[in-house]
């Protein structure tokens, strides 16, 4: 049996014909048809993962980025080979992009392993693409460098700056409350996404781009330049050049993704006021790297690091403001006393060396605050535990109404996201602002974990001015959303977690200062209900079936157990 892994460049991962010489001969013959000669085939091969797709408007400038990376590779003496993988657009894919994160991770990893490449440049952007590519990179462990499409520029409507998708949610809530007309919401829809690129608030895409830079998997300054700018193209060119050097050096993701790197990502996540989704993604990537990151690690950092970046939804600005203010290099300069500076990065330097030239924020800007004068306090993200979530749950306390952080109320239960969508207004007669809206069977096994955890306020209450209620679910919430939403309840209802046992009218108590979420039903009654519990059926076939059989719970990163 011939090894698949001997050699470099075109000699790498030879196709198995039982005769290495013949395999090489065939490879040369077919590449000759594409115009490659012996001079080309001596060079290091740099794979370029291209996730452009007509289905993914966030990636619509990716073809230009692929060309920019190719130019950088050629300038440094490498041979670029772009190849497609599946592309996940958060809004166009059903039932949720999260269901396919692990599929794209697996596809990307396998392609990196199967094709000859000495390094790879991963082009992503829209929410789940970047975590999928990080998972692939750490598992394949071939020299790898990440590039993103960059955030959209902001739009405007009637003189107000608008952006996806915090303002999408805000205006939709106004529309549901009757404060915005049919014509007005239509006009708003045309102003929310004025360019290609990713959502321009600190949602999941922006958070993951910034955390990829904090992890050391992206060149300094690569996370924030907006879509369509020269800075964005230059980041791609520089990444192509650097990938060739990394191929020669053999600097691999597992040299970079150490515990120090994850410490730095956690510190950055809190300072950004970033998405709760990042918790799941970072745990999954860390576990692939052999680092047992747990919810307690997030809490320990959340207790120490205040909110520093003034971007929606935790603040008021947008990613272009963050970029103009200095982006990640300036933020990490501010965070320097809290970071582990010996961490290696794709630049070939340590974080300390990368930050040596970065400057502290000047008074001319308002977006990146200092540790001495932060934008918000510590504890923006809180990890909860209790009888309703024995393995944990998460709340973005910074995005919740303060009066709901200690709350006790009767449950109103919805058995699925569809049930909630069709019934929430129909049941509004019986729902008060004190009720706790419970959504279940929306966890990893139950539904692939959609972003349905920020259930809408029932129309009747919204029209009466109610802006927030306690909501509890095993679902996720968009990083662009806000509200007193307890998310990622683990274990989820579909595997028999306590969430499956809640009935209408049961009292639920949320106590964020004490980090507790409890179901106030006595143990005997819960045992009776548990004995009667039957899990919902798994999907019958295909990826959804494989996923439901092997996916782990949210507190373990929702990775497939045989990949983790």
Work out how close the CB of 545 gets to ligand FES at its nearest, in angstroms, rounded to a whole number: 27
Nearer to ligand FES, 127 or 509 (CB): 127
Work out how close the CB of 521 gets to ligand FES at its nearest, in angstroms, rounded to a whole number: 38
User: Should residue 199 be labelled a site residue for ligand FES when binding is judged by CB under 6 A?
Assistant: yes
Q: How far apart are CA 178 and CA 158, in angstroms?
A: 19
Residues 6 or more apart in contact with residue 479 via CB below 8 angstroms: 127, 201, 202, 203, 204, 205, 206, 207, 274, 275, 276, 277, 278, 313
Would you call 193 helix, strand, or coil by DSSP?
A: coil
Q: How far apart are CA 232 and CA 201, in angstroms?
A: 17
* Span from 25-33, 83-91, 102-110, 232-240 in contact with ligand FES (CB under 6 A): 83-91
* Span from 32-40, 89-97, 456-464, 522-530 in contact with ligand FES (CB under 6 A): 89-97
User: Should residue 538 be labelled a site residue for ligand FES when binding is judged by CB under 6 A?
Assistant: no
Residue owning tokens 């009935």: 503
User: Should residue 46 be labelled a site residue for ligand FES when binding is judged by CB under 6 A?
Assistant: no
Nearer to ligand FES, 277 or 310 (CB): 277
Judged by CB under 6 A, the number of residues near ligand FES is 11
Region of 482 please: left (phi>0), alpha (psi -120 to 50) or beta.
beta
User: Should residue 351 be labelled a site residue for ligand FES when binding is judged by CB under 6 A?
Assistant: no
Work out how close the CB of 207 gets to ligand FES at its nearest, in angstroms, rounded to a whole number: 10
Q: How far apart are CA 503 and CA 500, in angstroms?
A: 9
Nearer to ligand FES, 92 or 546 (CB): 92
Burial grade of 52 (CB within 10 A; 0-12, 13-18, 19 or more): buried
Work out how close the CB of 557 gets to ligand FES at its nearest, in angstroms, rounded to a whole number: 20
Work out how close the CB of 134 gets to ligand FES at its nearest, in angstroms, rounded to a whole number: 16
Question: Which phi and psi angles does 419 have, rounded to 5°?
Answer: -60, -45
Contact 558, 280 (CB under 8 A): yes
User: Should residue 162 be labelled a site residue for ligand FES when binding is judged by CB under 6 A?
Assistant: no
Question: Which phi and psi angles does 415 have, rounded to 5°?
Answer: -85, -10
- Sole binder of ligand FES in the list 74, 91, 173, 341 (CB under 6 A): 91
Greatest pairwise CA separation for the chain in angstroms: 77
- Sole binder of ligand FES in the list 46, 66, 79, 90 (CB under 6 A): 90
Site for ligand FES in 96-125 (CB under 6 A): none
Q: How far apart are CA 564 and CA 289, in angstroms?
A: 9
Nearer to ligand FES, 127 or 559 (CB): 127
Would you call 348 helix, strand, or coil by DSSP?
A: coil
Nearer to ligand FES, 203 or 326 (CB): 203
Segment (H or E) for 303: none
Work out how close the CB of 498 gets to ligand FES at its nearest, in angstroms, rounded to a whole number: 32
Nearer to ligand FES, 201 or 413 (CB): 201
The encoded tokens of residue 559 equal 């990775």
User: Should residue 265 be labelled a site residue for ligand FES when binding is judged by CB under 6 A?
Assistant: no
Q: How far apart are CA 29 and CA 399, in angstroms?
A: 59
- Sole binder of ligand FES in the list 103, 117, 126, 301 (CB under 6 A): 126
Strands 507-511 and 406-414: antiparallel
User: Should residue 58 be labelled a site residue for ligand FES when binding is judged by CB under 6 A?
Assistant: yes
Work out how close the CB of 163 gets to ligand FES at its nearest, in angstroms, rounded to a whole number: 10
Work out how close the CB of 60 gets to ligand FES at its nearest, in angstroms, rounded to a whole number: 11
Helices (H), 79-181: 98-114, 129-140, 166-176
User: Should residue 198 be labelled a site residue for ligand FES when binding is judged by CB under 6 A?
Assistant: yes
Nearer to ligand FES, 86 or 91 (CB): 91
Closest CA to 394 of 275, 469, 272, 489: 489
Work out how close the CB of 65 gets to ligand FES at its nearest, in angstroms, rounded to a whole number: 15
Nearer to ligand FES, 203 or 225 (CB): 203
Nearer to ligand FES, 97 or 301 (CB): 97
Work out how close the CB of 201 gets to ligand FES at its nearest, in angstroms, rounded to a whole number: 9
Residue owning tokens 């510190």: 267
Q: How far apart are CA 213 and CA 322, in angstroms?
A: 14
Nearer to ligand FES, 198 or 299 (CB): 198
Q: Count the neighbouring beta carbons within 10 Å of the beta carbon of residue 402.
A: 10
- Sole binder of ligand FES in the list 50, 109, 127, 468 (CB under 6 A): 127
Contact 492, 474 (CB under 8 A): yes
Nearer to ligand FES, 458 or 479 (CB): 479
Closest CA to 504 of 409, 428, 412, 388: 412
User: Should residue 205 be labelled a site residue for ligand FES when binding is judged by CB under 6 A?
Assistant: yes
User: How many Cα atoms are found within 13 Å in the side-chain-facing hemisphere of 222?
Assistant: 34
Nearer to ligand FES, 222 or 240 (CB): 222
Residues that bind ligand FES (CB under 6 A): 58, 89-91, 126-127, 164, 198-199, 203, 205
């Amino acid at each position: 049996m011939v090894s698949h892994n001997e050699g470099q460049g075109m000699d790498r991962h030879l196709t198995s014909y039982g005769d290495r010489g013949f395999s090489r001969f065939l490879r040369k013959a077919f590449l000759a048809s594409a115009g490659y000669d012996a001079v080309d085939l001596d060079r290091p091969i740099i794979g370029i993962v291209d996730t452009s797709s007509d289905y993914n408007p966030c990636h619509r400038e990716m073809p230009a980025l692929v060309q920019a990376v190719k130019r950088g590779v050629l300038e440094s003496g490498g041979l670029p080979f772009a190849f497609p993988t599946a592309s996940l657009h958060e809004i166009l894919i059903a039932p949720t992009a999260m269901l396919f994160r692990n599929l794209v991770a697996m596809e990307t990893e396998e392609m990196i392993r199967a094709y000859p490449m000495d390094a790879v440049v991963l082009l992503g952007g829209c929410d789940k693409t970047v975590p999928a590519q990080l998972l692939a990179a750490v598992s394949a462990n071939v020299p790898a460098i990440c590039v993103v499409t960059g955030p959209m520029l902001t739009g405007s409507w009637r003189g107000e700056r608008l952006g996806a998708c915090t303002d999408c949610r805000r205006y939709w809530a106004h529309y549901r409350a009757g404060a915005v007309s049919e014509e007005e919401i239509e006009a708003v829809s045309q102003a929310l996404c004025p360019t290609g690129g990713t959502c321009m608030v600190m949602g999941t895409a922006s958070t993951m781009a910034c955390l990829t830079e904090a992890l050391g998997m992206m060149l300094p300054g690569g996370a924030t330049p907006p879509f369509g700018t020269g800075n964005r193209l230059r980041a791609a060119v520089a990444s192509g050049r650097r990938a060739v050097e990394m191929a020669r050096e053999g600097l691999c993701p597992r040299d970079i993704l150490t515990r120090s790197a994850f410490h730095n990502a956690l510190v950055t996540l809190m300072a950004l006021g970033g998405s709760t989704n990042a918790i799941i993604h970072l745990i999954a990537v860390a576990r692939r790297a052999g680092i047992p990151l747990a919810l307690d690690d997030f809490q320990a950092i959340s207790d120490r690091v205040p909110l520093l970046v003034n971007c929606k939804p935790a603040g008021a600005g947008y990613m272009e403001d963050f970029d103009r203010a200095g982006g990640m290099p300036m933020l990490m300069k501010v965070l320097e006393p809290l970071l582990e500076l010996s961490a290696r990065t794709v630049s070939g330097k340590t974080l300390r060396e990368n930050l040596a030239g970065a400057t502290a924020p000047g008074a001319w800007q308002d977006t990146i605050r200092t540790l001495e004068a932060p934008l918000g306090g510590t504890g923006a993200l809180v990890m909860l535990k209790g009888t309703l979530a024995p393995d944990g749950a998460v709340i973005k306390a910074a995005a919740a109404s303060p009066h709901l952080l200690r709350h006790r109320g009767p449950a109103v239960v919805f058995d699925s996201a569809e049930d909630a969508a069709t019934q929430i207004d129909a049941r509004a007669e019986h729902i008060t602002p004190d009720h706790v809206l419970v959504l279940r069977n929306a966890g990893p096994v139950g539904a692939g974990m959609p972003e349905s955890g920020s259930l809408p306020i029932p129309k009747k209450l919204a029209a009466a001015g109610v802006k927030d209620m306690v909501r509890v679910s095993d679902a996720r919430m968009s990083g662009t959303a806000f509200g007193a939403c307890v998310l990622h309840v683990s274990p989820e209802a579909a595997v028999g977690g306590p969430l499956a046992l809640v009935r209408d009218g049961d009292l639920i108590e949320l106590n964020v200062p004490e980090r507790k979420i409890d179901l106030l039903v006595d143990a005997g009654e819960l045992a009776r209900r548990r004995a009667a519990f039957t899990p919902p059926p798994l999907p019958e076939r295909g990826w959804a079936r494989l996923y439901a059989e092997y996916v782990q719970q949210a507190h373990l990163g929702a990775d497939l157990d045989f990949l983790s």
